[in-house]
Amino acid sequence: MAKNIKAIKCPHCGSIKITTLRPDYYKCDSCGTEFFLDSDDININHNYNYPRNNQDQYKAIRIVLFAVVGFIALMFVIGALSALFSKKPAPNYSTYSTSNTAEKKEEAQPLEWNYASNTLFLDKDNTPHIVVVGNVGTFRGRMDEGKDNKVYIGLFDPKTGKKEWVKTLMETPVELSSSDVKLQVFEDQHLYIIVKSKYIYQLDRNTLTYKSVLENYVKDAPSLSTGIAKVEFKYEDYGSAYQIVNNEGQNLAYYPLINKSIPDKQLYDERRKKLPNPTTKTDFTFSSKSSYYPEEKIQLIQYSYQYQYGFPKDSPRFSWDKDYGGSGIFTDRDPYKKVLINPWQFKGARLISFKDFTPGRLYFQPVVVAQNDKTLLIAYKPTPAEDDPIQIQLLDITTGAIQKTISTDLKSIYGNGCLLKDGFIVKDASNYYYFDNNGKQINKFEGYNPKFDTLN
């Protein structure tokens, strides 16, 4: 079919300013619309494509920027005018020197302990001391790069709270973290100190002087002659001993009071074997709650056992149990006896005898705190209520008769205490409480971080 020649107009704006893109495809130069012609010359298809109005965008951005800059300039002018017309007089610095100010600030900063451990310690005269070992500094100086990281040892009077002395234990700087210092009194009644699982010191109860004992251990024990890679205290149930890894990688229990090292795999038998020259000793402990017989009450047990100074031992654990007469797998249909301690535990702890020391009395969360040749000091809750405060009780160590019962506000008491001529001391999680013989509290000593003014 012949085509009639006509002017091509934009179907959107009617403009005849048209650019040919390819045959039958066009673009309007005025509005940007793209369109094409059908082959039958009837339909005109178009695509609207509006160009962006960049000038309007830039204009809006400029307006916002001018507004922000204007606001900042206005605030600066207001601040300058306020400072200019302020009537507040300038401070007079002439009466102070920077050195005097620094000295006064330093004087206001008491010395305190950082990551320190503490324990109650009795000297040869049975005089109590609180021993603290750790880093020392001011609160402000804890984060200083040049802070003193020496390890110090200090003695404090728990009755008055006053410092007796604080001295350098280790000249070599050692930055401590939590649980890096451990303290334990051995059977010789001296205090032993482990720092960073590597250094071992002794505080002598006779002279209150201290020294490193690591070198002596390495020299005296052949199994330690290659050196000590790591050292910790054994649990007190094992006796006075260390858990040691020597430089050959051997795991050993070392008993320094008898200079004997025992490989870990042999320790179980060593704790139970017959002693060469035993004596009889009497101690006290509380039974634990029984899973087999939960209705049974906790009892205060007096027990006698074979003991030898410095040797491995195994402390007895009393709890109502079922004795089936041997080892193996049993059911409730098998015959058994109800016992407070199993025969194999009785033998392993080298027990001679035991008994309920205070029949019929009721105890909750009890602990044996201390004993001497006349008195037993215990602490317990009178009811099972969690918020019930602790009671302290002094018993006649021969008959179990109650000498005194003392009510307190304390929620817990640990086993680290002592009996004294003029009273007694008990300890909760971090503080020590000094009571006189009438049961009156005369001092609370904050063992966690006792502050002091100077080193000496």
Residues 6+ apart with CB under 8 A from 85: none
E strand or H helix that includes residue 403: strand 402-407
CA-derived radius of gyration, the chain:
42
Tokens for 255, please give them.
Answer: 């008993």
CA atoms within 13 A on the CB side of 304: 6
Among the residues of 140-285, which ranges form H helices? 214-220, 264-270
Which tokens go with 400?
A: 């179990």
Domain ranges of the chain: 111-270, 273-354
User: What secondary structure letter does DSSP report for 332?
Assistant: T
Check residue 454 and give its pLDDT.
Answer: 87
- pTM across the whole model: 0.75
Instruction: HSE, CB side, 13 Å, CA atoms: give it for residue 208.
Output: 19
Helix and strand numbers (H, E) in the chain are 5, 29
Q: What's the pLDDT at 42? A: 43
Cα 358 to its chain centre, rounded Å, is 37
Tens of pLDDT, residues 221-241 = 999 999 999 999 999 999 999
- Identify the pLDDT of residue 110: 81
Specify the pLDDT at position 45.
46
What token pair was written down for 82?
């306020």
Q: Given this model, what pLDDT does residue 449 score?
A: 85
d(CA 195, CA 288): 33
Phi, psi values for residue 148, rounded to 5°: -80, 115
Is residue 166 helix, strand or coil? strand
Return the H-helix or E-strand segment holding 85: helix 54-85
pLDDT digits (tens, 9 = 90+) for 368-399: 999 999 999 999 999 999 999 999 999 999 99
Q: Dihedral through CA 79, CA 81, CA 87, CA 92, nearest 10? A: 60
Block means of pLDDT (10 residues each) for the chain, 456 residues, are: 57 70 69 63 45 50 62 65 53 46 56 92 98 85 64 97 96 90 98 98 98 95 95 97 98 98 97 97 98 96 99 97 80 86 96 98 98 98 95 98 97 94 95 97 92 85
What does DSSP assign to residue 5?
Answer: P
Structure tokens at 96: 């102070």
